[in-house]
């Protein structure tokens, strides 16, 4: 019952708050899976700047295995976030040093996990076959729906996740059924305020959202995925895993950031002084 998040990490920079939080799809899932009782690890590349140190410190505080994290010279990946009535919107960002190549030692280590989770933000598409050779692969496609992309990756994926908030019930059901036909054993779709869907190739499950105060929706989908994957690893009934996933996603919406650890001292975007930081110091 071990899960490894492999791929993206960022600092999410909230300019309205003057605060940055650690995040990233692969990292968020690892953190929330660990909080859900699963032994979890993270494999990825961090910058050696203040943002990278924030992310590394948060991972260690959470108790993740960081033995295969790379700390590289340069800037950590970041995303610029705006909130509109609690709904997060990404308005910019940079990959920093986050692109990396999996080593043979990484693959050997990953063979000890029950599940690997990665994402379309991780720049690992050309290495998906290697990941899937080590352990069953969960992959978050988010809003990616281009046919060539999906057809190249889905045959390697055991559990595929999608964000389908813009689709009505009929179209969302048709989508998960179509994706299941391309290879994965399970297809999970989160849909914002709509029912989440799970399809195993034969049966469809629905999970309504849990009503909650929405302060910040960032990371709610990752929390949902993480709790479902934790339940899957423990062989929980899908109804139980989905209901718990909805509860965790709702709880995540009630605070800023994907999993906490905010700091007001976020780094500049360029070698010049960041105007936002300079304005605060005047």
User: What pLDDT is stored for residue 85 in this prediction?
Assistant: 75
pLDDT of residue 189: 98
DSSP letter, residue 253: T
The residues facing 139 across adjacent strands are 118, 160
What pLDDT score was predicted for residue 277?
33
pTM of the model: 0.92
**b vs e for 239-266, b when ≥16 Cβ sit within 10 Å of the residue's Cβ?**
eebbbbbbebbbebbeebbbbebbbeeb
Question: What's the pLDDT at 249?
Answer: 97
Say how many Å lie between the first and final Cα of the chain, rounded.
51
Domains of the chain: 2-281 (3.40.1190.20)
Q: What is the mean pLDDT of the chain?
A: 92
Which residue ranges of the chain lie beneath pLDDT 50?
A: 269-282
Q: C-alpha 27: how far from its chain's center?
A: 6
The pLDDT value recorded for residue 144 is 96
Query: pLDDT tens-digit profile of 133-173?
Result: 999 999 999 999 999 999 999 999 999 999 999 999 999 99
How many other CB atoms sit within 10 Å of the CB of residue 49?
A: 18
Q: What backbone phi and psi angles, to 5 degrees, belong to 186? A: -135, 145
Helices marked H in the chain — which ranges? Answer: 25-35, 50-62, 104-110, 128-134, 147-153, 169-180, 220-233, 238-252, 275-281
Q: What is the pLDDT of residue 278?
A: 31
């Amino acid at each position: 019952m071990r899960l490894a998040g492999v791929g993206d990490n960022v600092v999410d920079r909230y300019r309205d708050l003057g605060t940055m939080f650690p995040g990233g799809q692969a990292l968020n899932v690892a953190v929330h899976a660990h909080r859900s009782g699963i032994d979890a690890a993270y494999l990825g590349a961090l910058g050696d700047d203040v943002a990278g140190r924030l992310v590394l410190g948060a991972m260690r505080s959470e108790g993740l295995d960081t033995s295969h994290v790379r700390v590289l010279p340069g800037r950590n990946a970041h995303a610029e976030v705006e909130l509109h009535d609690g709904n997060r919107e990404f308005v910019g960002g940079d990959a920093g040093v986050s692109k990396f190549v999996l080593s043979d030692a990484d693959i050997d280590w990953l063979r000890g996990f029950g599940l690997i989770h990665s994402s379309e933000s991780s720049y690992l598409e050309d290495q998906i076959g290697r990941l899937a050779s080590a352990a069953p692969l969960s992959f978050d496609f988010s809003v990616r729906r281009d046919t060539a992309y999906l057809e190249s990756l889905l045959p390697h994926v055991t559990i595929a996740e999608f964000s389908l908030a813009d689709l009505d019930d009929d179209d969302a059901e048709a989508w998960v059924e179509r994706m299941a036909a391309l290879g994965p054993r399970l297809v999970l779709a989160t849909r914002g305020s709509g029912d989440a869907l799970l399809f195993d190739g034969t049966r469809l499950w629905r999970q309504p959202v849990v009503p909650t105060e929405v302060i910040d929706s960032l990371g709610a989908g990752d929390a949902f995925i993480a709790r479902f994957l934790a339940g899957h690893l423990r062989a929980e009934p899908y109804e139980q895993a989905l209901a718990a996933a909805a509860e965790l996603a709702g709880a995540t919406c009630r605070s800023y950031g994907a999993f906490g650890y905010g700091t007001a001292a976020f780094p500049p975007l360029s070698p010049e002084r960041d105007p936002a930081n300079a304005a605060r110091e005047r």
